[in-house]
Amino acid sequence: MPTATDITRQIEDWIEEDRDEIVAFLSGFLQAKSPNPPGDTREASAYVEAFLTRNALPYRLVSAQDHLPNIVGSIDGASAGRHLVLNGHMDVFPAIEDIPGERGQWSGDVTEGRVYGRGAADMKCGTTAALFAYRYAARLKDRLTGRLTLTVVSDEETGGRWGTGYLMETIPDEVVGDCCLDGEPSGLATLRFGEKGALRAVLTTKTKGAHGAYPHLSESAVKIAAMLVRDLESLAELEPELPDHIVRILAQPDTQTAMDASLGDGAAAIVGKATVNVGVIRGGLKVNMMPDECVLEVEIRMPPGLARARVEKALGDVLARYPSTSCQIRNDHSYESSWCDPDHEMAAILQDVAEGVTGRRPLPIISLGGSDARYWRYRGVPAYLYGPSPKTMGRRNEHVTIDELLTVVKVHAISAVRYLCREN
């Protein structure tokens, strides 16, 4: 009778045989445009659907809006058992203007050991891993217990209301499961068991306005907003009340080194702190006019232990000093932080498998950015992220290395099977 080790070797052999196919799949996936906004993912969805159809893998579309399809499919093992859900998204950051003579953002170029394209890191590499893990698990379903469900969604980049959130509202029995595995970019040195929350707000300052030579007739909305930007930094001083076990994990020197390696130097210093980003400023019509309006779009990232309500109150205290400024909270992309057990069985499986593949054991961390994994954690279901480096996501020449891609595919496929394997 084949053992879990034998099955693992079989998956590794399949991935080696399919190396060129996996790289070509990601390349084509990146050429299927899916920027969000505006959010139309039908081209990317058709590409994924064609893969599933070619491989005779079960799936169906579950969507509230035609231009935002979600793909859901399940495979049952030989007997009853636990339920693992694979999650990935098709939408990517909004498009940027291509520069003549330089690589286009939808190129899917494969060169010098890298695959280039908008969404390579976030997260078409991870979604590719979910798809191939689903394919390999289907070949082994007679050796598995329980159920494996694939969810490939739209709308993650704008909050997930019509993607994972919609699935949770409409077909929870099919997609909640007992555990979730996600390939969002984490960096191969780390395993994400939690992430910061976010509070987004639009702050609008209005004054009477005047000719620029007559500043005695009106305050400048831009100058008021500039002072407000300065005062908003006080929100970064809010102290979270972190659970003790998370404090211990984040304080370990090896973990801090791994965070900096995966998320960029300095990540470890801010993972347990709130951060404030003024992402957009709009104000003024002409250089010799006193601006009568200035709009700030602000995002506060909140670590575990810092509740959204507390941040909203602190924001209100700051705004009380600015009576000419109104505040609109963007509830569509504001949410609490989330985390799950860093010592859960699936976390250990992922660590063991990744160490076997790379020779390096990924360490559990809290992420700086958000993901759809929170939808599972909010329901008490552990959800873990293991994916490629996040350092190029959203940038020109976004890419993943082929080694990263194949590593993530191996870790996801082997971990999924081990979680559902009868021998385990």
Whether 423 shows a pLDDT value over 60: the answer reads no
Taking the C-alpha atoms of residue 57 and residue 55, their distance in angstroms, rounded to an integer, is 5
Question: According to the model, what pLDDT value does residue 424 have?
Answer: 44
Taking the C-alpha atoms of residue 114 and residue 26, their distance in angstroms, rounded to an integer, is 11
Taking the C-alpha atoms of residue 39 and residue 144, their distance in angstroms, rounded to an integer, is 36
- Domain boundaries 197-238+274-333, corresponding CATH code: 3.30.70.360
- Residue 124 in tokens: 């078409």
Using a pLDDT cut of 70, give the percent of the chain over it: 98
**DSSP β-bridge partners for residue 283:** 294
Cis status of the peptide bond prior to 388, with omega within 30 of 0: no
Q: How confident is the model over 78-87, as pLDDT tens digits?
A: 999 999 999 9
Backbone angles phi, psi at 16, to 5 degrees: -65, -45
- Residue 289 in tokens: 């006019």
Region 149-172: mean pLDDT is 96
Would you place residue 422 in the very low, low, confident or very high pLDDT band (cuts 50, 70, 90)?
Answer: low
Taking the C-alpha atoms of residue 141 and residue 143, their distance in angstroms, rounded to an integer, is 5
Boundaries of every domain in the chain: 4-195+337-420, 197-238+274-333
- Residue 300 in tokens: 């506060």
Cis status of the peptide bond prior to 364, with omega within 30 of 0: no
Taking the C-alpha atoms of residue 73 and residue 419, their distance in angstroms, rounded to an integer, is 18
Please tell me the CATH superfamily of domain 4-195+337-420, with its number: Zn peptidases (3.40.630.10)
Question: Are residues 345 and 172 in contact, defined by beta-carbon separation less than 8 angstroms?
Answer: no
What is the distance of C-alpha 76 from the center of its chain?
Answer: 27
Identify the H or E element spanning 37.
none
Taking the C-alpha atoms of residue 223 and residue 379, their distance in angstroms, rounded to an integer, is 44
Q: How confident is the model over 267-300, as pLDDT tens digits?
A: 999 999 999 999 999 999 999 999 999 999 999 9
Q: How confident is the model over 219-260, as pLDDT tens digits?
A: 999 999 999 999 999 999 999 998 888 888 889 999 999 999
Q: How confident is the model over 36-88, as pLDDT tens digits?
A: 999 999 999 999 999 999 999 999 999 999 999 999 999 999 999 999 999 99
Backbone angles phi, psi at 215, to 5 degrees: -65, -15
Question: Count of CB atoms within 10 A of residue 176's CB?
Answer: 18
pTM of the model: 0.92
Question: According to the model, what pLDDT value does residue 390 have?
Answer: 92
DSSP type of residue 157: G
Among 86, 103, 105, 101, CA closest to 35: 105
Q: How confident is the model over 105-126, as pLDDT tens digits?
A: 999 999 999 999 999 999 999 9
For 232, residues 6+ apart whose C-beta sits below 8 A from its C-beta are 276, 278, 298, 315, 318
CA torsion 363-367-370-371 (nearest 10°) is 0
Please count the residues of the chain.
Answer: 424
Question: Are residues 188 and 388 in contact, defined by beta-carbon separation less than 8 angstroms?
Answer: yes
Taking the C-alpha atoms of residue 343 and residue 13, their distance in angstroms, rounded to an integer, is 30
Region 179-187: mean pLDDT is 95
